[in-house]
Amino acid sequence: MILLVLSMHAADTYSPLGNWYFVQRPPISQLTLLTFAAWQMYLQSFFMGLLFFVAGVFVPPSIDRKGPGRFLRDRAFRLGLPVLLYMFVLGPVTEYYISHSWTAPYSFAHEWWHHITDLEVLQENGPLWFLLALLIFSAVYAARYARPREQAPRLAPGNGVLILFAIAMALGRFVIRGVLPDRSIFNMHIGDFSQYILLFGAGIIAARDGWLHTFPYQRGIRWMMLVLPIGFIAWLAIVSGGSVHDGWNWRSAAYGAWESVTCVALSAGIIVLFRAKADGQNALTRLLSRNAFSVYVFHPPFVILAARALWNLAWPAIPKFLLLTVLATVTTFAASELVFRRIPVLRRIL
């Protein structure tokens, strides 16, 4: 999932659909535009929601073991401190020295102080909005926490439950984006939060009811296969008429339905696929695993530095995006393993 995050931000660099600190927008063909759109919109449909689901799975055993008070203190330390680090240090350094998105001819100290005093800092948490949202979700759950009684594992959700779950997600998205189109609070895009809240809650329920390991493999694979050929045709039909807008219109409703079904289907399929085919670790995956959180926190400047290094490379946009993804991945994981996680203060939160 962290590799997909890196891939998304590499795509944002060259795709006209992306929004990123540093971009290079060469002329592209319609086929290239369609390729970027498919990759980015399919990723956007599920990848952050699935991260919230995975985060939710780990909440019940942690809060049962620690109690709500210690659980929240630990969450504030592990999630809150990286957000503050990004807002006050890493983000400003990235914008001033690396992406040059702070363009005024003033010193870093002047721009940093302006960043604080005009409250821009509250919106400048970059990709760490995810950690802030996760901290808020954890606090809400802890406030309502009561130690559950022992119970037998429950049946995994069937197709009917998954359909209802996708419908609830789509309705939430349509209503929120109709009332608050394009609204962000602390860099959190509110229109996506019906998905995030539902999947975080689903992760908690999956852990509580014990069905994560019993969800049928064939069911997950069938759902995933459904949204690849048939879902792709539906996606083409929705986006071929123009851009997808928030608001009270049929295209927003149709796209929300497609996005929600795709999210449920790909999440279910990926979970059972990795459970069946990759339930174990070797030396490489252990290295990737222990550095995943650190890479999520520190990857923006490395994506930008790699993009700057490739600026004069006269490749088509898609191969250049793939090369940028590889370079950013290798350099960020290397920096995390060899530098960041060896610094005592950082190691405690990474």
d(C-alpha 2, C-alpha 11), whole Å = 14
Phi, psi angles (nearest 5°) of residue 265: -70, -50
How many separate domains does the chain show?
1
Answer whether residue 232 is part of any domain: yes
Position 181 pLDDT exceeds 90 = no
Tokens 């490739």, residue located? 310
Q: Is residue 41 part of a domain?
A: no
Assigned domain for 169 exists: yes
pTM listed for this prediction: 0.93
> For residue 239, what are its two tokens?
């986006």
Does 168 fall in a domain?
yes
* Minimum mean pLDDT range among 52-61, 127-136, 182-191, 199-208: 182-191
Q: Mean pLDDT over all residues of the chain?
A: 92
Confirm whether 28 is domain-assigned.
Answer: no
Please state, in angstroms and rounded to a whole number, the distance separating the CA atoms of residues 288 and 298.
14
Domain encompassing residue 270: 151-279
Inside any domain, residue 55: no
Are residues 288 and 333 in contact, defined by beta-carbon separation less than 8 angstroms? yes
19 pLDDT tier (thresholds 50, 70, 90): confident
In a domain, 172, yes or no: yes
Task: Give per-residue pLDDT as tens, 118-165.
Answer: 888 888 899 999 999 999 999 999 998 888 777 777 789 999 999 999
Write the pLDDT tens digit of every residue in 241-288.
Answer: 766 767 788 888 999 999 999 999 999 999 999 999 988 899 999 999
